[in-house]
């Protein structure tokens, strides 16, 4: 069986019979060049995006994909914003305002989108907010499909860790959002990678032995370990055989200079995410200015040469 077919099927052994069940996960489609990540401040932070890219480079050094982070802090797909957001300085950005520009400028072949954390406005589940989230996700998927993207993967929202209630607070709202999104695998044949429930289970398991354990100091924005859990869930969905005990450091260590590659990827991602936000435009204040895209592309190529030299075992200069 070819490698492609192995990625497209899940083997189950039963007495005297080998059964292959089709799965949704698999390698990036042929001809893929640009892979876009959409989301809120968690995506904008970019740690999980950079982790996915660093892993991919160290495990698939012959690949040449551009991983684009277009996350925007505070953003929703529901269009909702709570009174007094950001001390009343500005409402939450709405993805509908900028999506057409992002897609026109990035021209992605594959899109990952992670929304939900902000869409429930950090309140208990309510029909009107839940409806706005569902309608927003339906709109987003339709727009991404209309754009010509070859593959669309929606991500369930990360875990929320309430200061007093832990995963039994606002995370219960996100449970419902994640359940609905996962249900669209069957009802609408969407691709959905689950990061919500693996993160929730990990957090609750750690709390059994360490009651003070946190993935996010503020309950919302994961630290490095939380971002790795997100990246690992996405990579596993794509068919990568990553053990649950693996760390980002152990994963990129498959290459002798994996840590250098990870650092270079992180540097490039940090520069490019701000350049893309400026280039595509948005209405959120208080964002870093970003370098002009012409300069950013030049620097992107320079760092890319460093990454390739490091992958090929040549001096990094």
Task: Give tens-digit pLDDT for 97-152.
Answer: 999 999 999 999 999 999 999 999 999 999 999 999 999 999 999 999 999 999 99
Q: How would you write 173-218 as a 3-class SS string?
A: HHHHHHHHHHHHHHHCCCEEECCHHHHHHHHHHHHHHCCCCCCCCC
Nearest to 76 by CA among 62, 56, 97: 97
Q: Comparing 19-23, 92-96, 293-297, which segment has the lowest mean pLDDT?
A: 19-23
User: Is 34-311 in CATH node 3.40.50.800?
Assistant: no
Q: Per-residue confidence at 216, pLDDT binned at 50, 70, 90?
A: very high
**CB of 237 closer than 8 Å to CB of 153:** yes
User: What pLDDT shows up at residue 26?
Assistant: 53
pTM: 0.91
- Tens-place pLDDT, residues 171-182: 999 999 999 999
Tell me what the pLDDT averaged over the chain comes to.
92
Kind plus residue range of the DSSP H or E element containing 316: none
Reading the block at residue 136, the tokens are 């927003």
**CA-based diameter of the chain, in Å?**
67
User: What pLDDT shows up at residue 27?
Assistant: 78
Q: Mean of the pLDDT values across residues 185-214? A: 98
Reading the block at residue 221, the tokens are 């924005």
3-state SS assignment for residue 68: strand
**CB of 121 closer than 8 Å to CB of 133:** no
List beta partners, residue 112: 37, 153
User: What pLDDT shows up at residue 148?
Assistant: 97
Q: Per-residue confidence at 10, pLDDT binned at 50, 70, 90?
A: very low
**CB of 38 closer than 8 Å to CB of 114:** yes
Give the domain ranges of the chain.
34-311
- CA distances (Å), 25 to each of 157, 192, 254, 281, in order? 19, 9, 23, 32
Compute the residue count for the chain.
Answer: 317
* pLDDT score of 94 more than 80: yes
Q: Mean of the pLDDT values across residues 67-72? A: 98
User: What pLDDT shows up at residue 15?
Assistant: 38
């Amino acid at each position: 069986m070819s490698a492609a077919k192995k990625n497209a099927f899940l083997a189950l052994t039963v007495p005297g019979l080998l059964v292959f069940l089709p799965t949704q996960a698999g390698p990036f489609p042929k001809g893929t060049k640009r892979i876009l990540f959409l989301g809120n401040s968690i995506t904008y932070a970019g740690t999980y995006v950079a982790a996915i890219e660093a892993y991919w480079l160290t495990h698939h050094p012959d690949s040449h994909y551009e991983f684009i982070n277009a996350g925007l802090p505070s953003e929703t797909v529901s269009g909702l914003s709570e009174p007094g957001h950001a001390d009343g300085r500005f409402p939450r950005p709405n993805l509908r305002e900028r999506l057409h520009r992002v897609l026109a400028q990035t021209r992605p072949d594959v899109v990952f989108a992670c929304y939900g954390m902000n869409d429930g406005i950090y309140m208990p589940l309510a029909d009107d907010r839940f409806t706005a989230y569902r309608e927003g996700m339906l709109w987003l998927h339709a727009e991404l499909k209309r754009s010509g993207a070859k593959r669309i993967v929606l991500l369930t929202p990360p875990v929320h860790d309430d200061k007093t209630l832990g995963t039994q607070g606002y995370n219960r709202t996100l449970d419902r959002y994640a359940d609905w999104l996962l249900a669209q695998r069957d009802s609408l044949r969407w691709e959905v990678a689950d990061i919500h429930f693996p993160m929730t289970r990990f957090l609750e398991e750690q709390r059994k032995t360490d009651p003070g354990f946190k993935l996010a100091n503020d309950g919302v924005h994961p630290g490095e370990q939380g971002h790795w859990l997100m990246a690992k869930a996405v990579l596993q969905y794509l068919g990568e055989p990553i053990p649950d005990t693996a760390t980002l450091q152990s994963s990129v260590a498959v290459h002798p200079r994996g840590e250098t590659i990870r650092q270079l990827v992180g540097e490039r991602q940090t520069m490019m995410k701000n350049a893309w936000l400026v280039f595509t435009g948005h209405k959120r204040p208080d964002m870093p200015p970003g370098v002009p895209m012409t300069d950013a592309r030049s620097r992107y190529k320079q760092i890319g040469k460093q990454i390739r030299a490091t992958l090929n075992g040549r001096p990094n200069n």
